[in-house]
């Protein structure tokens, strides 16, 4: 884990745009692909549980508690543990169409990823208008990066027409190559700030997932903005968000933010 100071001793900035570095999660903050991921997780886990004759259903609560914001295989492993199920780890090359009873953690994760990619290619990707408005409102001197657990972040950003807005994308591929633990560890955010040549004290994190908010809080960043796409304002505050909004457009004129 990165060597960072988790304490925030300086005052919380009144306007996140006053900070130098802006570190955005992707799914649920920039694009509504969190909804696609949520549906893909549900389809994959529902099919898996049904194949094993397990009556207890997979629910949205399971998504937010065990999967949201985490690296793909971590999400599989955490949910299975919540049901007392252990599977072999497998590896990244495991096929997604494993037969019932032969599944691995990696194979299930790959199955979910195949479903996500199919949904994205079929329906396309449109960014949140409020996020685009917020990006437009940032000063020309702002330094921007995307920090995502997804390994498809580059493809999604290009599909949304936003890749050129960000200097760096620290995604699941970069985390794997650099040996960085995923969220809720702060390391991927810290790495992005370092790539931008900025300190954590001059950086703001934007996150919609509990795991991501916890990562930002653990990293000691100047500000952690929680974007509530369904988790709940209070849940994000309890996870460590400095302020919570329902959409980043609320920060363009300063209205609606809740400290």
In 85-197, alpha helices (H)? 105-123, 129-137, 153-160, 172-178, 187-195
Rounded to an integer, the average pLDDT of 73-83 is: 95
Q: Candidates 1.10.1740.10, 3.30.450.20, 3.30.420.40, 3.40.50.1000; correct CATH number of 16-32+126-251? A: 3.40.50.1000
Furthest C-alpha separation in the chain: 56
Q: Can you give the pLDDT at residue 36? A: 85
The one catalytic residue among 15, 25, 97, 171? 25
Q: Candidates 1.10.150, 1.10.3470, 1.10.357, 1.10.10; correct CATH number of 35-123? A: 1.10.150
Identify the three-state secondary structure at position 19: coil
Q: Can you give the pLDDT at residue 1? A: 43
The one catalytic residue among 15, 27, 91, 94? 27
Phi and psi at 35, nearest 5°, equal: -65, -40
Q: Are 242 and 232 in contact (CB under 8 A)?
A: no
Return the closest-CA partner of residue 151 out of 233, 44, 37.
37
| Domains of the chain, residue spans | 16-32+126-251, 35-123
Handedness of CA 55, 60, 63, 66 (dihedral sign): negative
Q: Is the pLDDT of residue 4 over 50?
A: no
Return the closest-CA partner of residue 224 out of 153, 4, 208.
208
- Tens of pLDDT, residue by residue over 82-140, are 999 999 999 989 999 999 889 999 999 999 989 988 888 777 788 999 999 999 999 99
* Catalytic residue list contains 27: yes
* Catalytic residue list contains 25: yes
């Amino acid at each position: 884990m990165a060597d960072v100071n988790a304490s925030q001793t300086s005052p919380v900035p009144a306007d996140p745009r006053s900070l130098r570095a802006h570190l955005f999660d992707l799914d649920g903050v920039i694009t509504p692909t969190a909804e696609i991921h949520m549906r893909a997780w549900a389809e994959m886990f529902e099919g898996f549980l049904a194949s094993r004759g397990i009556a207890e259903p997979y629910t949205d609560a399971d998504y937010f508690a065990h999967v949201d914001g985490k690296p793909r295989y971590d999400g599989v492993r955490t949910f299975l543990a919540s049901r007392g199920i252990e599977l072999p780890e497998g590896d990244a090359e495991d096929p997604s169409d494993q037969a019932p009873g032969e599944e691995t953690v990696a194979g299930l994760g790959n199955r979910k990823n195949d479903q996500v990619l199919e949904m994205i290619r079929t329906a396309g990707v449109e960014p949140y208008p409020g996020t685009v408005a917020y990006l437009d409102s940032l000063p020309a001197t702002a330094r921007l990066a995307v920090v995502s657990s997804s390994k498809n972040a580059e493809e999604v950003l290009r599909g949304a027409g936003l890749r050129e807005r960000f200097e760096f994308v620290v995604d699941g591929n970069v985390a794997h190559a650099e040996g960085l633990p995923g969220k809720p560890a702060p390391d991927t955010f810290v790495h992005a700030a370092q790539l931008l040549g900025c300190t954590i004290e001059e950086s703001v994190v934007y996150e919609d997932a509990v795991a991501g908010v916890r990562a930002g809080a653990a990293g000691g960043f100047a500000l952690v903005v929680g974007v509530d796409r369904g988790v709940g304002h209070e849940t994000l505050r309890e996870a460590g968000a400095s302020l919570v909004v329902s959409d980043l457009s609320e920060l363009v004129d300063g209205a609606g933010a809740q400290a």
